[in-house]
Amino acid sequence: MQPNCGHLHSIAGSGAPCPPSGDSSCQPSAGAVHIQLGEARESTSSRQGSQSRSHSHGEAGGLEDPAPDSEEHGGSSLSELRHLLQWLHKSLPYLLILCVKLLMQHLSGISLGIGLLTTYAYANKSIVNQVFLRERCSKLQCTWLLLYLTGSSLLLYYTFHSQSLYYSLIFLNPTVDFMNFWEVLWIVGVTDFILKFLFMGFKCFILLVPSFVMPFKSKGYWYMLLEELCQYYRMFVPIPVWFRFLVARGELDSVLGWTLGILLGLLYLILKLLSFFGQLRNFRQVLRIFFTRPHYGVPASKRQCSESDDICSICQAEFQKPILLICQHTFCEECISLWFNREKTCPLCRTVISDHINKWKDGATSMHLQIF
Ligand SMILES: [Zn+2]
Ligand SMILES: [Zn+2]
């Protein structure tokens, strides 16, 4: 048993707890190890004590000065903050007056922006609802939405027809003074919303197509393609407007102003090119899904359904067109296709089934405002 005891000693010596042993011959030596450990601990603690004492001496001796300095620094930054707050408090009424003046100056722009946003929110929600209702969707509501979106867009372009804002839809420059930043923001913002409305109109049109011409499953892929196309197109549309604004010389009417403008324009184009390549992979994947219409599983047999007690674990009802996934889990075809609009994995075992989330198959339109 000696080698065993030696082993124990070495473990205890290394700081690990002594493992229990039924061998009585081992006990005394194990006790001795404990005593040794205690001594060792004592000696290390005394060493640490002396170290900490010397450290505290060092702190007391060499680092005495920085403490008041940092206090002073903290105090000065605090007083600066207090000054800033006082200034804000004093000038708040003037700032409010200025804000109201700015609001008045851009009242038409701001109210139009709110109008566009509410139109978008209303149309988006209605389209998603109608897509969800499938065969029960109201043709009347879809026609109304189509007319509403077309009417809003035409009314906007008619009201501001002198600015020819519709030019920017096809990469041309509207007849607006480009020296003003707000004008650029106005053109880009309006064009972005109108493009959203246009593609929402296409979605309404697809909703109106009878199901014997285009089945619901196919419509989902069309919504997805339209939304991705819309996002991709909206990425390019502001380029000519921003480029012209950035290249303009401004007040620096010299070679320096001209060079700086060109440099800014080029930087903008490079950034745009980078984001274009970033999105390209995603867009190609969407195109592949649209044309190949991948299947996530195979139709399940009666035996495979009975293995899952004939109950779909998503809708908790009897299977409708059951589909067996590669992970051997069965779901209704409709339930699982709705699930894959948001997820890539099996809802039960989390096996990755799809390599892409079919995010826009529900007819939704992205809220993202493409400003740049
Ligand atoms: Zn189901
Ligand atoms: Zn599974």
Question: CA quadruple 301, 303, 305, 308: dihedral positive or negative?
Answer: negative
By the CB criterion, residues less than 5 angstroms from ion ligand 1 are 312, 314-315, 332, 335
Arithmetic mean of pLDDT, 303-312: 88
Report yes or no on 53 lying in a domain. no
No. of helices (H) and no. of strands (E), the chain: 11, 3
Residue 215 pLDDT class (50, 70, 90 cuts): confident
Q: What are phi and psi of 76, to 5 degrees?
A: -70, -40
Indicate if 306 and 200 belong to the same structural domain. no
Indicate if 206 and 81 belong to the same structural domain. no
Indicate if 256 and 332 belong to the same structural domain. no
- Number of the ligand closest to the Cα of 318: 1
pLDDT above 50: residue 92? yes
Residue 299 DSSP one-character state: E
% the chain with pLDDT above 70:
78
Q: Which of 354, 116, 124, 340 lies closest to 227 in space, CA to CA?
A: 124
Last residue of one domain, picked from the residues 105, 121, 151: 105
CATH number for the domain including 327?
A: 3.30.40.10
Report yes or no on 60 lying in a domain. no
- Which stretches does DSSP call E strand in 176-243? none
Give the Å distance between the CA of 223 and the centre of ligand 1.
Answer: 23
Report yes or no on 101 lying in a domain. yes
Indicate if 251 and 286 belong to the same structural domain. yes
Indicate if 98 and 170 belong to the same structural domain. no
- Number of the ligand closest to the Cα of 347: 2
Last residue of one domain, picked from the residues 271, 292, 313: 292
Give the Å distance between the CA of 122 and the centre of ligand 2.
Answer: 37
* Rounded distance between C-alpha atoms, residue 200 and residue 231, angstroms: 12
Q: Could you list the residue range(s) of the whole structural domain that residue 333 is in?
A: 297-353
The full DSSP string for 34-47 is HHHHHHHHHHHHHH
Residue 260 pLDDT class (50, 70, 90 cuts): confident
* Rounded distance between C-alpha atoms, residue 171 and residue 258, angstroms: 23
Highest mean predicted confidence (pLDDT) among 58-72, 130-144, 352-366: 130-144
Last residue of one domain, picked from the residues 258, 273, 292: 292
> What is the overall mean pLDDT for the chain?
80
Give the Å distance between the CA of 128 and the centre of ligand 2.
Answer: 28
pLDDT above 50: residue 77? yes
Residue 42 pLDDT class (50, 70, 90 cuts): very low
Indicate if 233 and 147 belong to the same structural domain. yes
Indicate if 261 and 120 belong to the same structural domain. yes
Indicate if 155 and 199 belong to the same structural domain. yes
The distance from CA 138 to its chain's CA centroid, rounded to whole angstroms, is 33
Give the Å distance between the CA of 323 and the centre of ligand 1.
Answer: 10
Report yes or no on 54 lying in a domain. no
Whether complex ipTM tops 0.90: yes
- Number of the ligand closest to the Cα of 335: 1
Give the Å distance between the CA of 319 and the centre of ligand 2.
Answer: 16
% the chain with pLDDT above 90:
41
Q: What is the pLDDT of residues 234-247, one digit of tens each?
A: 999 999 989 988 88
Indicate if 172 and 91 belong to the same structural domain. no
